[in-house]
A = this chain, B = another copy of it.
Amino acid sequence: MNKRITFCSIYFFLSVLPTVSVFAQTKTVTDEDALYIRQIHDVALNQGRCYPWLYHLTKKIGARLSGSPQAAAAVEYSYQMLDTLGLDSVWLQPCMVPHWVRGDREIVRIAQSDMGSVELRALALGNSVGTGEAGIAAEVVAVMGIDELEKLGEAKLKGKIVFFNRPFDATKLNTFEAYGGAVDQRAYGASEAAKYGAVGVLVRSMASGLNDDPHTGGLLYKEGLPKIPACAISTNDAELLGRLLKKSPVKVYMRTTCQTLSDKPSFNVIGEIRGSERPDEIIVVGGHLDSWDVGEGAHDDGTGCVQSMDVLHIFKRLNYQPKRTIRCVLFMNEENGLRGGMTYADEAKRKGERHLAAIESDRGGFVPRGFTVDGEAAVFTEKFPAMQPWHAVLEPYGLHIKKGGGGADISPLKPQGVLLIGFEPDSQRYFDFHHTEVDNFEAVNRRELELGTAAMTSLIYLMDKYGLD
Contacts and interface: CB of A to CB of B under 8 A. Distances in A.
A447 B208 contact: yes
Contacts of A183: 3, 6
Contact of A177 (B1, B14, B175): B14
A174 B14 contact: yes
B334 A170 contact: no
A232 interface: no
Contacts of A372: 11-12
A2 B177 contact: no
A1 B209 contact: no
Interface in A171-203: 171, 173-177, 179-180, 183-184, 186-187
Contacts of A139: none
Interface in A377-407: 397-398, 403-407
B2 A335 contact: yes
A2 B428 contact: no
Interface string A409-429: 001000000000010001011
Contacts of A14: 173-174, 177
Centre residue among A180, A218, A407 by max chain B CB count within 10 A: A180
Interface in A154-182: 170-171, 173-177, 179-180
Interface stretch (A41-49, A96-104, A245-253): A41-49
A175 B447 CA distance: 10
B177 A9 contact: yes
A428 B447 CA distance: 6
A174 B15 CA distance: 11
A355 to B, nearest CB: 18
Nearest to A211: B446
A432 interface: yes
B367 A45 contact: no
A293 interface: no
B12 A407 contact: no
A19 to B, nearest CB: 16
Interface string A426-460: 10110010100000000001111001000000000
Contact of A6 (B13, B184, B446): B184
A397 B173 contact: yes
- Range, interface on chain A: 35 or more
Contacts of A407: 1, 5, 8
Contact of A445 (B2, B300, B428, B434): B428
Contacts of A209: 446-447
Contact of A8 (B2, B217, B405): B405
A239 to B, nearest CB: 15
Contacts of A451: 173, 428
B11 A405 contact: yes
A34 to B, nearest CB: 14
Contacts of A78: none
B3 A45 contact: no
Given A6-B180, A428-B445, A432-B445, 6 more contacts: A2-B218, A2-B338, A8-B408, A9-B179, A11-B374, A208-B447
23 contacts: A1-B300, A1-B301, A2-B336, A4-B408, A5-B362, A6-B184, A8-B404, A8-B405, A8-B408, A9-B177, A12-B176, A13-B174, A13-B177, A14-B173, A42-B171, A46-B170, A170-B447, A209-B447, A367-B428, A426-B426, A428-B448, A428-B451, A432-B445
The 4 A-B residue pairs with the shortest CB-CB distance, nearest first, are A8-B405, A9-B180, A4-B408, A11-B404
